[in-house]
Structures are given as structure tokens and as C-alpha cells.
Structure 1
Amino acid sequence: MIDLPPVGVGGAAFGNLYGPVPDAVAEGILDAAWDAGLRYFDTAPHYGLGASEERLGALLAQRPREEYVLSTKVGRLLEPNPDHVPGELDTEKGFWVPTTRRRVVDLTPAGIRASLTASLERLGLDRVDVAYLHDPEEYPRADAHAAVRTLIELREEGVVAAIGAGAKDVEVLVDLVRGAAPSAGRGGHGLDLVMVAGRYTLLEQPAWPDLVPTCAGHGVGIVNVGVFNSGLLARPQVAPDAHYEYGPAPAAIIERANAIAGVCARFGVDLPTAAVHFGSRARGVVNATFGLSSAAEVHQLTERLATRVDDGLWAALIVDGLLPDGVIAP
């Protein structure tokens, strides 16, 4: 398995997620992250119709290539959009970029290889370290398994150092880990990593019962993303109109988040700081990657990571039935 730095920077903001991100702000994010010692960066063609790869690649080109780890994703090709209307933006997908390109799903061997080649061209680099299959829950399961087999071939050819799959759906990740595992008598190995989005957080741990032990049994590392549950855990006080899964949070979810915040307060830790620590310390996690939209958010993250959290907090949450026993790695 590739040795990932423990903390990473997600690349969606470099693709103008939720609004325009000026070049100076993007550069400030990268500079602050680099100065803080963060050396893992993740992007995807999906982020801003290639804008994230183009912008992040240009910024990283100023840094020594051997000093950082870079990942991108496959599964969606970008093609010229013949239906583009001047002034139209990709806001339906959350990105404020012109719709001059369109996403085309292609999980065939040729499509996976073309996706990676195009990503390298946009990045302006000769290699990425990790290639993930992006959102496999959106595709027929057989196609997702076939795409993973192509990724295994690319790793065997030395095109990438490690491969993985990134999803919000725990079941599909369990299936892909098991399906990619070598059968008896066959050499090689399967997936190196899974990227789990919003399913292994201080609020909820659907990954815990099956995915975590499955990954442990097959030597697969977990990259944890979305640890704030769409912003629900991002503030010390849970707002009554907080969002969850990109919609209004149900009352039961807000009640649970408030209960967790109350336990955190007893230990002198605010909710987002506890969420950051859980996201990076949960059993099986080899990296926690965070979406950061400004240099100030980078500084805030590093301050939270540097904050000491009493292990008694996790024990208290377990006693109160708010965390499963054993979920925090010693």
C-alpha cells in the first residue's frame, strides 16, 4: 500500500465549488497548506469540469514533484459540449464554471485509460500517485468491477503507484474490495485504498460494521473525507436549520449532533475539533482529507489538529451510545 501523508487537501474548491474562487484565493490555499506541511492533494475531472485539475496542476508545478502525493479519479471523460450556451454555468453540479465541457461516463478499459491520460494533460504532469474510481455507486456493479480490473492493470504497468475507489455508498466499497482481492493461488493484490465520503464521521459510522473489517482483512487503507457531514459538524453550535446530505437536517440528526456537542463541551473541545480528530483517528483510517476554501480554513484546520483531545471524550461518547466501542484506534 502507498504511504499517504496523514492529512490531505481536497481539490473541489480549485474547481469553483459553490461559487467563484479567485486565482489569488486558490493560490493562498495551496501556499498555506504547503507551509503547514500538508503534502497530499486530491482532485478529479468532475471538479469544475477539469478546472480543478488545471488549476491545481499549475500551482503544484511550482513545487518539487517528489515532495507531494497527488491523486485524481477516473470514470468520467470530459468532452466538448455542443449544447453550451454562453454564460451558462455548471451550478447544477455545484461548480461555477462554464459548461463548455460535459461529463461522459466511460468505464471501459479504453475509457479508463483515456480518462487518466486526459487528467495528466490537464495537470501538466507526467504522473499521479493514486487513481480512484469515482462514484462507483452510480454505475452498474459489473462495470465498476471491470473498471477496477483496468486500474489494477495500470498499477501493474507502473502508470500509477496505487489504486482505489471513492464513494458515499459503503456497500459498493465493500463489494469492490472483496471483488478485487486476489483469489487463492493468484498473485498480485487488489485495491490499495478506499475513499469514504461522509460515512465514517463523529456523527455516524456506517462504514464501521462491514467496511472497516473488510479493509483490514485485505490490507486496504481508508481515506476519510466529508467528516463534517455536509457542514453539520462544522460549527461549535449546531444550527437549527443545519444541512445534512445537502438538504435540511432531520430533527433526529440535529438532536444527535447536539448530544455529541454536549459531551465534547464537557471535555473542553468544540464539535468541529472533535470531528476533525475522529475523522483522522478512527480505526483503519490512513488519511483524512479536507475540503478547504481559503487560507484561513487551512490555518483553522491545523489549529484543530494541534489541539489536544482527551481520550476520555471517546470513552464518554461510547458510554452514551454515541460511538461504537473500539472505533478509535489506540
Structure 2
Amino acid sequence: MRDRTSARTPSLTELGLGAAQLGNLARTTSDEDARGAVDAAWESGVRYFDTAPHYGLGLSERRLGAALAGRPRDEFTVSTKVGRLLEPSPETAHLQDDGGFAVPAAFRRSWDFSRDGILRSLEGSLERLGLDRVDILYLHDPDDHWTAASTTGVDTLVELRDQGVVKAVGAGMNQAAMLTEFVRRCDIDVVMVAGRHTLLDHSARDALLPLAQERGVGVVAAAVYNSGLLAAPRPPADATYDYQPASRELAGRAASIADVCERHGTSLPEAAIACPLLHPAVTSVVLGARNAGQSRTNADRLATAVPDALWSELTALGLLPDVTSPRTGRVRS
């Protein structure tokens, strides 16, 4: 497993494990499967793990922390997020969470990018993770909270970084435009861009990636399957794109890319993982896994060599902007 870094970020393995499924995203994941997903990722060489309080109202953090317990702390990197503060809600504990996770609604999410809110959120995350520190702290989805997030939010993160509480700070979002503004205007080290630097969505390439590269800000690419459309060798009839049914036009583009992949002896999901890593600003691709088998599949797909001729043909057919290859990175010793 290769490592990558930037001028401002800690070294990350090219593949990271995204722990949303450990929080019962969309459906229940057993404790055994959640533990297996982390164990198999570790065995595959993954040393970067991303979570958030939002994922299962803290369940993801608790499960990830339990699975990492006992492993050498200096050998792995953990990121979590702030901005959605978990507040106890015993009056709704008998109901199901309405935030997309199959868990009881024993807490409610409260948007809070204040200094106090961020400090309280981090304290809760550390307790759930069973760790004395996290390595990267992201502002989580501040789409409707730019003013607070870019002032008190970033200021608090920088304070924590300067105190040595965290190594790197940034923001994680499902859009590229505001992340670009964070890089342009704020003292951050890393951004996580979800679904906007993929085989099908190239919006991060316009401004975010060049600016991040210029300023030494690392880019973590998440949701590179666009929530499902790129996850199988051929787009299924019920495929989703950004958690909604995929349009006929997008499904057709994915099928055309799959045709090219097959001609070059690779697969659509293998290309979906490899493509974001072609850009030198990208330090890691984060993929979710619900069990050990999915973690192993993710690692196997990353390890598959994708020929340069594939990118050339996709570009010639107008299915992909011009990209450069090969990958860059440092091999973990």
C-alpha cells in the first residue's frame, strides 16, 4: 500500500476506509461485520480511517475505536468531523433516526460551528473512539453555514492544530466550489471532496485541485463510486447516483466507460478508484466497506494496474478530461 502526502498534510495511505457503513448507513451492519471491515482493511495495508459523529449518531466512531483498540497508535491516521453536535434526545429514543442511518434516534444533530460546539464535539468523538487524539479534523458539510464555519469554525480548528491536539484541519463536503473558497481564504491543510472528483463528475478539476496543489493542501477523494453507479463492472438497472436513482444519461455514460474498461482488461470500479489518484493533489481515496469482503475488494481494485491507454481512449471519446499518469506516491516500508 502506497503512502502519499502534501506540503501540509500527514502521510496517508492511497486507500482509506470510510466508516459511514459502520454507523448503519441505510441498513443495519452487525458488530461482527463492522469489526471485520476494519480488520480486513488493516490486513490489506490501509492505515487511514475516516469517521464522523453524524454516522449513526456516534455508532461509527464507537465501532471504529473498538476495532482499532490495541493497534500501535502511531501506525494509523484517524479523521473525524465537527459541525454536527450530538445532543441527547431521550424523548425520541424509541424512534428511528431520520438522518439516513438505521439506529435509534437517541441523539439529535445540532449544527454548531462555534468554538464551544467544536470543542464539545471533539471531546465526544475522542470518548467514543477511545483515543487521546485524532490526526485530521474536518468541518462537516458547512454548505449553509459559510460565515460561521469560515470564521469561528476555522479559527478553532487552527487553535487545536497550533496546540498540537490535531495534526491537520480542513473541511469535508459534497461540493467543490465552497471547498475552493476554504482553500483560497482560510488556513487549512486538507479537504475531503465527496463525489466531485470521479469518472463522472469532474467539477473539482476546474479550480479546487489546481489551487490545492498550488498551496500544498491535500485533497482526499471520497464517494468515488458516486454512491453506486460506478461500483459494479456494469451499471445495474437500479443504480444510484449521489443517493438518487441514476438518470438515463448518467447510466449511459457509465456504460460507455465500462465498455472502454473492458477493452483494456480492467473494470469500471477499478478505473473509478484509479482515476482520482492520477491528480498529484490527491493524497488518498476513501471508500466505505460494510464487511471484510468489501474491504478486501476495495484493496484488490486499488492494486489492479490500469493501463495508460485506457485514459487516452476515454479522453479521445470525450468521456473524461485530459488526465496525467502514472500515480505518484511513496511505498510504505
Q: TM exceeds 0.5?
A: yes
AA aligned opposite 1:164: G
1:25-46 deviations in Å (ceiling 9; x for gaps): 1111111111111111011000
Counterpart of 1:223 in structure 2 is 220
How many angstroms apart in 1 are the aligned matches of 2:284 and 2:62?
A: 24
1:266-286 deviations in Å (ceiling 9; x for gaps): 101111111111133334111
Counterpart of 1:249 in structure 2 is 246
AA aligned opposite 2:68: L
SS of alignment partner, residue 120 of structure 1: helix
1:306-330 deviations in Å (ceiling 9; x for gaps): 2121111011111111111135556
How many angstroms apart in 2 are the aligned matches of 1:85 and 1:49?
A: 11
How many angstroms apart in 2 are the aligned matches of 1:85 and 1:217?
A: 47
- Alpha carbons 2:213, 2:280 under 8 Å: kept: no
Counterpart of 1:234 in structure 2 is 231
SS of alignment partner, residue 91 of structure 2: coil
Q: Could you tell me which of 75, 92, 108 is aligned with 2:83?
A: 75
- Alpha carbons 2:22, 2:34 under 8 Å: kept: yes
Q: Which has the higher contact order (CA 8 A, sep 6+)?
A: 2
Counterpart of 1:187 in structure 2 is none
- Alpha carbons 1:222, 1:286 under 8 Å: kept: yes
Percent identity reads 49
AA aligned opposite 1:286: T
Summarize the Cα distance change of 1:316–1:137 in structure 2 as closer, same or farther, 3 Å threshold.
Answer: same
Question: How do 1:104-119 residues align onto structure 2 when only pairs under 5 Å count?
Answer: 104-119=110-125
- Alpha carbons 2:278, 2:323 under 8 Å: kept: no
AA aligned opposite 1:21: T
How far the C-alpha of 1:96 sits from its partner, in A, is 1.0
Counterpart of 1:145 in structure 2 is 150
- Alpha carbons 1:208, 1:327 under 8 Å: kept: no
Q: Stretches of 4+ moved more than 2 A in 1? A: 279-283, 326-330
1:110-138 deviations in Å (ceiling 9; x for gaps): 11111111111111110000000000113
- Alpha carbons 2:279, 2:323 under 8 Å: kept: no
Counterpart of 1:173 in structure 2 is 179
1:47-87 deviations in Å (ceiling 9; x for gaps): 0001111111111112111111011001111111143152x
- Alpha carbons 2:183, 2:212 under 8 Å: kept: yes
TM-score when scaled to structure 1?
Answer: 0.93
AA aligned opposite 2:96: L
AA aligned opposite 2:274: H
Counterpart of 1:64 in structure 2 is 72
AA aligned opposite 2:119: R
Counterpart of 2:265 in structure 1 is 268
How many angstroms apart in 2 are the aligned matches of 1:39 and 1:85?
A: 34
How many angstroms apart in 2 are the aligned matches of 1:166 and 1:238?
A: 27
How many angstroms apart in 2 are the aligned matches of 1:35 and 1:173?
A: 33
Single out whichever of 38-47 and 273-282 deviates more from structure 2: 273-282
Provide structure 1 residue ranges, at least 5 long, that are not aligned to the other structure.
Answer: 181-189
AA aligned opposite 2:156: T
**Number of residues paired by the alignment?**
318
- Alpha carbons 1:283, 1:328 under 8 Å: kept: no
How far the C-alpha of 1:158 sits from its partner, in A, is 0.8
Question: How do 1:35-74 residues align onto structure 2 when only pairs under 5 Å count?
Answer: 35-74=43-82
Q: Could you tell me which of 13, 19, 27 is aligned with 2:35?
A: 27
SS of alignment partner, residue 79 of structure 1: strand
AA aligned opposite 2:13: P
Counterpart of 2:194 in structure 1 is 197
How many angstroms apart in 2 are the aligned matches of 1:205 and 1:327?
A: 14
How many angstroms apart in 2 are the aligned matches of 1:5 and 1:239?
A: 30
How many angstroms apart in 2 are the aligned matches of 1:328 and 1:145?
A: 34
Counterpart of 2:163 in structure 1 is 157
How many angstroms apart in 1 are the aligned matches of 2:228 and 2:46?
A: 22
- Alpha carbons 1:282, 1:329 under 8 Å: kept: no
SS of alignment partner, residue 240 of structure 1: coil
Counterpart of 2:96 in structure 1 is 89
Single out whichever of 240-249 and 63-72 deviates more from structure 2: 240-249
- Alpha carbons 1:75, 1:134 under 8 Å: kept: yes
